């Protein structure tokens, strides 16, 4: 099922220490348990509820970071500008469970990797709030765990608001919005219908690269105890005006995803690192 795994990670990472602390553990390990309502793929006409049990890792290294922005390697950072190598992903879908794709190959798990340039456009330290502009470009690969295939690339620029301490100390909110563009290969993966899979109501279709849609997403984490956090995330996608709006597989102009559950910290290293000047990184 297609909902960027980053959304699941953003909703599931526990984060451990409160934002105002001077030092935080270098490494934290934990588990997220909850449920999610996810569309089968972008523009799908059906969604399914899935139970989730996900391990998570927070690593606060100087070059390698893993947190509620996903896994990333810092290539360059100066002032408000940061260049990173980011990783993301998406869940798969069984075509037999989707009316539009019935009789077609299943959609495999997707993995994404590529550079991302981020700029902190505005900040208010007193309110612990900032606005960031980010432009990730990621190559996309699919896998059924027996082979890996390159599917194309995705560009997803985003403007986001981040705030800590909203509701209670240690809480963290992030909300972002931006367009999504994908290459022809990735669009084919979702929206192409080969002649052999054509049938009444599902004519053959050859997808093209271009505009995929507009995406709004958020994540919110609030600590309940020192090791337990309540986490939630959501995404709303609008596919009006999409390049492949005529595909018989693009069945809905709106998709909604919702994730919720509890995160529990199982392990923290005694080694700590100094918190950033602001509590977001």
Instruction: List phi, psi (to 5°) of 167.
Output: 95, -50
Overall number of domains in the chain: 1
For tokens 């469970």, name the residue. Answer: 97
Alpha helices in the chain (DSSP H): 5-12, 184-191
Residue pair 28/265 in contact by the 8 Å Cβ criterion: yes
Q: Report if residue 104 sits inside a domain.
A: yes
98-113 pLDDT, tens per residue?
999 999 999 999 999 9
d(CA 107, CA 97): 11
Residue pair 60/25 in contact by the 8 Å Cβ criterion: yes
Q: Report if residue 279 sits inside a domain.
A: no
202-261 pLDDT, tens per residue?
999 999 999 999 999 999 999 999 899 999 999 999 999 999 999 999 999 999 999 999
Which value, in Å, is the radius of gyration of the alpha carbons in the chain?
19
Q: Which two tokens stand for residue 1?
A: 């099922």
d(CA 87, CA 220): 21
User: What pLDDT is recorded for position 19?
Assistant: 40
Range 237-265 burial, b when 16+ CB lie within 10 A, else e = bebeebbbeebbbbbbeebebbbbbebeb
Q: Which two tokens stand for residue 61?
A: 């290294």
For residue 48, the cross-strand partners are: 38
Plot region of 70 (φ>0 → left; ψ -120 to 50 → alpha; else → beta): left
3-class SS at 221? strand
Q: Report if residue 82 sits inside a domain.
A: yes
d(CA 197, CA 204): 7
- The structure's pTM equals 0.86
89 C-beta neighbours (distance < 10 Å), count: 20
Residue pair 35/248 in contact by the 8 Å Cβ criterion: no
Q: What is the DSSP string of 55-78?
A: EEEEEE-SSEEEETTEEEEEEEEE
Please identify every stretch of the chain with a pLDDT value under 70, giving residue numbers as ranges: 1-22, 62-72, 275-281
User: What pLDDT is recorded for position 277?
Assistant: 42
d(CA 253, CA 269): 46
User: What pLDDT is recorded for position 16?
Assistant: 42
- Where residue 25 sits, what CATH number does that domain have? 2.40.230
Q: Is the dihedral of CA 192, 49, 222, 225 positive or negative?
A: negative
List C-alpha distances in Å: 102 to 37, 142, 201, 202, 223: 20, 20, 12, 10, 42
Q: Report if residue 281 sits inside a domain.
A: no
The boundaries of the domain holding residue 219 are 5-274
């Amino acid at each position: 099922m297609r909902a960027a795994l980053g959304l699941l990670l953003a909703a599931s990472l526990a984060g451990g220490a409160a934002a105002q602390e001077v030092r935080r553990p270098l490494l934290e390990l934990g588990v997220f348990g909850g449920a999610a309502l996810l569309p089968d793929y972008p523009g799908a006409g059906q969604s399914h509820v899935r139970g989730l049990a996900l391990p998570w890792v927070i690593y606060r290294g100087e070059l390698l970071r893993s947190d509620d922005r996903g896994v990333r390697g810092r290539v360059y950072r100066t002032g408000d500008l940061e260049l990173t190598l980011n990783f993301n992903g998406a869940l798969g879908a069984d075509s037999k469970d989707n009316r539009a794709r019935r009789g077609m190959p299943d959609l495999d798990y997707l993995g994404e990797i590529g550079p991302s340039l981020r700029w902190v456009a505005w900040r208010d330290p007193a309110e612990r709030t900032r606005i960031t502009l980010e432009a990730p470009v990621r190559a996309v690969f699919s896998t059924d765990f027996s082979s890996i295939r390159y599917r194309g690339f995705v560009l997803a620029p985003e403007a986001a608001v981040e705030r800590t301490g909203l509701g209670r100390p240690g809480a963290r909110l992030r909300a972002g919005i931006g367009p999504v563009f994908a290459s022809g290969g990735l669009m084919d993966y979702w929206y192409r219908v080969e002649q052999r899979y054509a049938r009444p109501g599902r004519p053959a279709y050859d997808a093209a690269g271009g505009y995929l849609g507009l995406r709004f997403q958020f994540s919110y984490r609030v600590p309940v105890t020192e090791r337990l956090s309540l986490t939630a995330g959501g995404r709303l996608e609008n596919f009006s005006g999409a390049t492949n709006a005529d595909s018989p597989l693009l069945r809905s102009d709106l998709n909604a995803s919702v994730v919720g559950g509890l995160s529990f910290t199982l392990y923290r290293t005694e080694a700590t690192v100094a918190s950033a000047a602001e509590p977001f990184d």
